[in-house]
Amino acid sequence: MTEARRFDAERAAGKIRGPLHGVPVLLKDNIEADIGLPTTAGSLALADNVTGRDAPIVKRLTDAGAVILGKTNLSEWANFRSTRSISGWSAVGGLVRNPYSLDRTACGSSSGSGAAIAAGIGAVAIGTETDGSITCPAAMNGVVGLKPTVGLVSRTFIVPISPAQDTAGPMTRTVADAAAVLTVIAGSDPADAATAQADARKADYLKALDRDALKGQRIGVWNRGKGQLPVLDAAFQKALEDLEAAGAELVEIKGPTDAELARIGGLEGELLRWEFKAALDAYLASTPPAVKPRTLDALIAFNAAEPRELALFGQEIFEQSAKTPPASDTAMQAKRAEARKLAADALDRMLAENKVVAIVAPSGGPASIVDPVNGGRFFGSPSTLPAVSSYPHLTVPMGLAGGLPVGMSFLGPAWSEARLLGLGYAYELQSRARREPDFLTSVAQQPAIAAAYDPR
């Protein structure tokens, strides 16, 4: 409240820091902020991780006049502890609920950030993504989510998974809000070598927004899951009609083969486990003495001794990561280069061969019911190619499918955030597809579905 009053006083005195002046911002709880709260990544092992540090992106936000409202719950360890994890659950925060149907998943790992913005708890939120952790919860909670090009936004003082794939990004109710946030948080950080090009590459993303951005543009349509889920097919078809109504020329494209995608996905899983151990050990070494586990091995022991941590699922990924080669392993480094090249070549080929400026695809299916016994069910996503290649990925709401939100993904080459945001903005204005949540206990409470369930 003190910060809010200070920024209000500045505004009253005629000092406007920019479009985020006085705007309340929520942070995913793997991002450090000097606001007296621990940065836990959802783990009881980090319950005392009060570092007194602002991540550089938080400093950029507060310098721009944003008010840090608080932290949001997440999938514990950004969904990188177990192969059978429940998205949106952490030992610290419990389960994030989807505001459109409270029995449904909010996806993850930026679950709380997506749900909070959908619910109107904050104006904007910051999420983080390694593969799908911004775009999936954004789509399933009916909001905009942007995973920037890796290297556009600092990762310093953010609990890591992969130096090759991690990035923070905005989660908002509109594309314009996402553009405003990205304009503030983008930029180089001397402590994060990956951001060396950021100052030269960043832009005023609000200036890129144009309601006519789709006119005359060739847009590739990649619908790998067509025919598997009729309600999603119908929502995507309506979105394509809106793109054409806004002036786009649509081109059906073929993506990589299943074998090519399997190779990229297999390499990714192996590489993330390898990168995680060294990255996490380095982060833990920087935490306050109150944090007792100082290594991944110590975390595994902590979880084994803490009943709440393993009450719903295990820590198979932790255990697998602990057995990986050191960060200096040249064979693994070669695999990382191979994976990135395969993913980048696939996207570059789809863009070049079809002479399209961007690719659209469904961001995934509607949210599944949370099942603590059998885990969650997810319907596809185009997130892996941009994740492994480090390319940007924007998702924009395209309405409801079976009463639940779904999103449309916009994919492009590295550093193409301005173009993607412009295209997404034009689509958003044409479609007006986003719907506010009703906070139903179950989607079955919707009148049409309820009547079909019980016509009496």
**Active site (catalytic) residues:** 28, 109, 133
Tokens standing for 266? 């297999």
Distance CA 421, CA 404 (A): 24
**φ, ψ dihedrals at 401, nearest 5°:** -125, 110
Rounded to the nearest angstrom, the gap between the alpha carbon of residue 9 and the centroid of all alpha carbons in its chain is 34
- Return the H-helix or E-strand segment holding 340: helix 330-353
The Cα 407–Cα 209 span in angstroms is 19
Q: How far apart are CA 61 and CA 184, in angstroms?
A: 6
**Residue in 380, 408, 417, 397 with CA at minimum distance from that of residue 151:** 417
CA–CA distance, 419 with 425 (Å, rounded to integer): 10
* Cα(139)–Cα(105) distance, integer angstroms: 11
Give how far Cα 409 sits from Cα of 49, 224, 256, 364, Å.
Answer: 35, 13, 17, 9
Report residue 452: phi and psi, to 5°.
Answer: -70, -35
Judged by phi (left if over 0) then psi (alpha if -120 to 50, else beta), residue 210 lies in: beta
The token pair at 385 is 């190619």
In sequence order, the 6+-apart residues with CB closer than 8 A to the CB of 48 are 38, 288, 290, 291
Q: What is the CA radius of gyration of the chain?
A: 21
DSSP state of 132: S
Q: How many CB atoms lie within 10 A of CB 218?
A: 14
Which has the closest alpha carbon to 68: 94, 39, 96, 92? 39
- Examine residue 109 and say whether the peptide bond preceding it is cis (omega within 30 degrees of 0): yes
Residue type, 97: R
Which of 441, 358, 436 is closest to 397 using CA atoms?
A: 436
Q: Are 115 and 98 in contact (CB under 8 A)?
A: yes
* DSSP 8-state class, residue 46: G
